[in-house]
Amino acid sequence: MKSGRGILGVFAALAVVVMPSAGCTINACPAIGYARTLMVNVEGNVAAVSDVKVCDETRCSEPEPTAGTPGPKKTVVTEFSPEPQPTVTYPPFHSRREDEDTWVFTVSYGDPAKVTVRALAADGAVLAEREQDLVWTRVGGTEQCGGPVTAPPIQLLVP
């Protein structure tokens, strides 16, 4: 048995010497989610616009949560229940108004290929609407690990 341990020790020593010289490197990516952003620039009758929504094929944007906004309610199950429990769904986009004519949307998941953008009046009336194909481009990070991505700004003309 003693000779078996000696052989393993030799292999371990060789691995320590040979691996770095063989060009093997370990590249670890950070375990973080990168931001995906989309900007909408409103032109024309900007004063009439109360909100801008971006929608994919299933849902529309919601305002970014604020510090005072409570999160989804959680249910504690103390005994087995055969009924399915409700699930929490999150919007595909969160929006914030950057300035008078610019809205910024953070994409919650995925890289949607197409969206519908709507400018809304205070009463909810649609002032302008447009469908837009999106082309996402990485703007940081690395090819191996990914990074933040963005799509070109969308111009929305409000008559």
What are the tens digits of pLDDT across the range 143-152? Answer: 888 888 999 9
Between CA 57 and CA 86 the distance in angstroms is 22
Q: Residue range 20-41: average pLDDT?
A: 74
How much is the mean pLDDT over the chain?
A: 80
117: burial class by Cβ within 10 Å (0-12, 13-18, 19+)?
A: buried
pTM: 0.68
How many Cα atoms within 13 Å fall on the side-chain side of residue 64? Answer: 12
More confident residue, 8 or 146: 146
Sheet order of strands, 114-120 included:
51-55, 114-120, 126-133
Per-residue pLDDT at 75: 64
Average pLDDT over every residue of 78-106? 79
Residue corresponding to tokens 């999160």: 71
